[in-house]
Amino acid sequence: MNRRAQISLLLLAAASGCVDALAFTVLGTVFAGVMTGNLVLLGVAVGHLGHGPGTGEGMSAPLYALGGYVVGAALVAFVCRGVARRPEWPGRVVACLAAQAVLLAGVAVVAAVFDGHPGAAWRTVLLVVAAVSMGGQSAAMVAAGSGAAPTTYFTGTLTTLVTGIADGSPRGAGQLWVAARLLAVVGGAACAVAVHTGAPAWGFVPPAVLTAAAVACQEPAQRLRRAVTPVHKNPLHGTDNETN
């Protein structure tokens, strides 16, 4: 994996940490990108059903987040179907990440209007949009193939790091990048919460900025031009001819 991709992955991991921290602390005590956590929260809510008034209320937020994530992942998978998987990220992957940055910027603007503390209805809207963006990010990394790595769920990343250290696998710099992504998640979450605490209106800005920076690292104009050019040259050819 080249250095440009590694830096983009660090930035996306930090953005993911930001979004999940804000989703949990501001938008509904659920996650926008960690669906394992949401599934557990949904199970907890189901387990409480019938044990008192209002016990089903805890189901709505995890379901909204799950639904948004699935929609985002499905949309990006549809857009990126058939892309050639190479060490460099395909143009359509970069375009999807750029769209994610726009979505997160929209979340930041709406949150700023409410001084970082949106009401109940807007919290739900922002949660769904944030989950759509995280689902899209996850699907984009899948579409990028071997040139990318997970940036919204990190259990496997942590396992890879620990097992690599324990069994003495000679992975060298690769392990350092894995460790850096884990630190980026923590740092992103800490940054988002600190900004939201100190300046609530700006609290949702960091994930949009980090995602945009990750896109910028990929030279988006060049990647998009290369993705579109083959189609214009010969429209009879399928999208499998996309180059990087």
**Distance from C-alpha of 9 to C-alpha of 16, rounded to nearest angstrom:** 10
What is the average pLDDT across 47-58?
A: 67
The pLDDT assigned to 237 comes to 47
Tokens 């983009």, located at residue: 8
Summary mean pLDDT of the chain: 87
Residue the block writes with tokens 């963006």 = 133
**Would you say residue 226 has pLDDT above 90?**
no
Band (pLDDT 50/70/90 cuts) for residue 139 is very high
Question: Among 43, 110, 25, 34, which residue's Cα sits nearest to residue 65?
Answer: 34
Residue ranges per domain, the chain? 3-241
pLDDT at residue number 185: 96
- Amino acid 227: pLDDT: 55
Ordered DSSP codes for 156-188: HHHHHHHHHHHTT---THHHHHHHHHHHHHHHH
57 falls in which pLDDT band (50, 70, 90)? low
Mean pLDDT of 22-49: 92
Least confident of 42-56, 73-87, 207-221: 42-56
- Position 58 scores a pLDDT of 79
Is residue 228 classed exposed, middle or buried when 0-12, 13-18 and 19+ CB atoms within 10 A define those classes?
middle
Cα separation, 79 vs 177, in Å, equals 29
Q: Which pLDDT value is given to residue 32?
A: 96
Give me the mean pLDDT over the 221-233 stretch.
55
pLDDT of residue 229: 55
Identify which of 62-76, 154-168, 230-244 has the greatest average pLDDT: 62-76
Give the pLDDT band of residue 244 (cuts 50, 70, 90).
very low
Residue 204 has pLDDT above 50, yes or no: yes
171 vs 212, residue with greater confidence: 212
Per the model's pLDDT, the better-predicted residue between 233 and 1 turns out to be 1
Task: Say what the pTM is.
Answer: 0.86
In the predicted structure, residue 82 carries a pLDDT above the cut 90? no
CATH code for the part of the protein at 3-241: 1.20.1250
